[in-house]
Structure 1
Amino acid sequence: MRETGSYAQWLPSANFKIDVFEDVVLQAAVAKTLTRATLSDLLLIRNINPRPRERAITDGNPGLEPMIGWNYDAALTWYLDRSSFVSVALFAKDLDNISESVTSTIQLLGLDFRRTRPENIGSRSYRGIEFSGQYTFTGLPAPLDGLGVQANISLVEPDATTYNAVAFYEKGPLQARIAYNYRNAYEQTQQGNRGQPVNVDAYGIWDASINYALNDQVTLFAQGLNLFNEKTFLYSVYKERVIAFETYGPRYALGVRLNF
């Protein structure tokens, strides 16, 4: 079995920034980007399951083309003060050579096998708008003047919504934050196992961290991820058709960062 693959791409980009008013900035950018397939998808490997009721083949695909994207962004930002702002941004992405795991039927030694391997499936376009902002309460009396909040929401066509909200404290050697990140339900792939769609249910995750700088070289930190044990639920079209229900539990870390 022998397969080859190669590609060459120019990746131009351009951006500009204009001060519309003293505290209002307009930024715009366009860029062509390249995303390579993962090494595991490119492996020249074949696994065969010959059992009569399960005949299946899993392949790699060294001929996968990289995903090419044209990305367009424009943002208008109003700076309320040195550390507070509100912003609205429009963005668009046109993607070619999107790859997904595809299941099809092939013949091997006169027998039908279900073959699953990554394939380039075509193009897709996304359009969206994002609202974001940050406000720091510098007008409060010390030590409360280190408090602040951040938030953003992204609305993307086709049918994707994400939002994040963060409360933080930054003053002197102390930094602390707690964040909530939400993603609505979405289709992960149109052709998963047995050629069926794979959907991911909506989820929201809480994270928190705290850092304390002993000096310019040494910082102590503590971190907690997925504090409330959010689950990952995968299904196919209908929630009754469960693919996976996974949990990795909360994760915690304590450590020291050293700068030299």
Structure 2
Amino acid sequence: MTIRTALTMALTTALTTALTAVPARAAVACPLVFGHGGYPTGPNPWERDLVRQPNNPRALNDQKSWGADGVEGDVQLTKQGTKAVMWHNTSTNGLTGTKQNITDIWWAAGTTNLQDRTIVRGPYTGERVHTLREWLDQVRARGLVALLEIKPETRPILSNATYATAAWKEISDPIKERQAAQRILVYSTDSWIQGELAKRHPGLLKGSAARWTDSVAWEEPPPSWSGNTARWQSVLDQAPASVMTNYTKDYRSWLKGRCG
């Protein structure tokens, strides 16, 4: 074989390789993962709710161990807006004692108060309800980002001329006291509350952060995480800065090798 022929063959091989090789996929930065507790869908979901929301220390410990970077917690107000507390249901459903709406009972006063109640079902049975201040401190101690949903049930109090000033202080003061040393995000599914948050905490609005990434509707017992993978990949391909999921542990495991 002549030198010319050898060079020609080498060039041809190199060209063929270049044309047929699959380009390497651009690296996607790993998003921050926000853990959410999961809430059943369909009729009367509260009847199947196992109170998995990360509103208490044991739930926060689980989310941290599963690989969460942040958690979504739920802010409610007790009677007349006298205490901001971490609870997801409209009522005390899932807690000891007579069922009552959270906004109809006091935090510490009376025999039906919220402070003395504990969770009666699910993985966090025995845990109590915590105040917003307590919860923010617990989240910070675990090195997690706090994402606060101000629940729609708080609107009648927050918009009431008699109680609004004190009620907003219950929500805003704990945030303002900690925001310089702790990352806190806020949002609400209620448009009026969201508008008020934009006025009171403009720099802390959730915005596009913690984008919802699951496609499987939550139920009890939980459906397999594997039904989410197509949606997880679709969202990841868009390189979100952060995502929110009901499947923290499974999502974090699935994410390995798919981002950097």
TM-score by length of 2: 0.21
Q: Which has the higher helix share?
A: 2
TM-score by length of 1: 0.21
Q: Which has the higher contact order (CA 8 A, sep 6+)?
A: 2
